[in-house]
Amino acid sequence: MAVKIRLSRHGRKGKPFYHIIVADSRAPRDGRFIERLGSYNPMTNPATIDIDVERALYWVNQGAQPTLTANRILSYKGVLLRKHLQGGVAKGAFSQEEADRRFAAWLQEKEAKIEAKRQSLTSQKQDTAKSRLEAEAKVNEKRAEALRKKHEEQEAAKKAEGEENTTAPAEAPVAAEDAQ
């Protein structure tokens, strides 16, 4: 029986969520499976990967073939590195303590990269929000200035109209006297 490590799709349309499973290669994508190893949510940034590393390592050592996407996920979480380090221990290239130390150093570096990405995304989000608020404030200032000018023009027009009304009747009789 050919065994594969692959993804099983769940979630609604446009919002995928995947289970990482071990299944017979002849089984349908969302059908029968042997074991569920974890989950993968590509909708978050960075993507959320939750996997049982020990069980995944067991299945890889037993000969389960990961699909391309599953292979990238296993590599991202360090399963394939652990398999590689176990091969070095089996050959006598280094001890198990050395392999554990190398894996811990790799894992620490990986976590630092992920945390740096999260922080950069957060700061980028805050900068974007700040720039939007500044742009909105500028637009509001322009609108307020335009309204103030319009209001001043209306006031000036009312004053001019009021002066014309007060001066116009006084001039009219004078013009009538001149005409006689």
Q: pLDDT for 90-111, tens place per residue?
A: 998 889 999 999 999 999 999 9
pLDDT digits 0-9 by tens, 6-38? 999 999 999 999 999 999 989 888 888 999 999
Cα distance between residue 15 and residue 12, in whole Å: 5
Compare 30 and 119 and report the one with higher pLDDT.
Answer: 119
Percent of the chain with pLDDT over 70: 92
3-state secondary structure of 39: strand
The answer on pLDDT for 175 being more than 60 is no
Task: For residues 5 and 176, give the distance between their C-alpha atoms in angstroms, rounded to a whole number.
Answer: 107
Sign of CA dihedral 84, 34, 3, 65: negative
Whole-number pLDDT of residue 166:
67
- Would you say residue 177 has pLDDT above 70? no
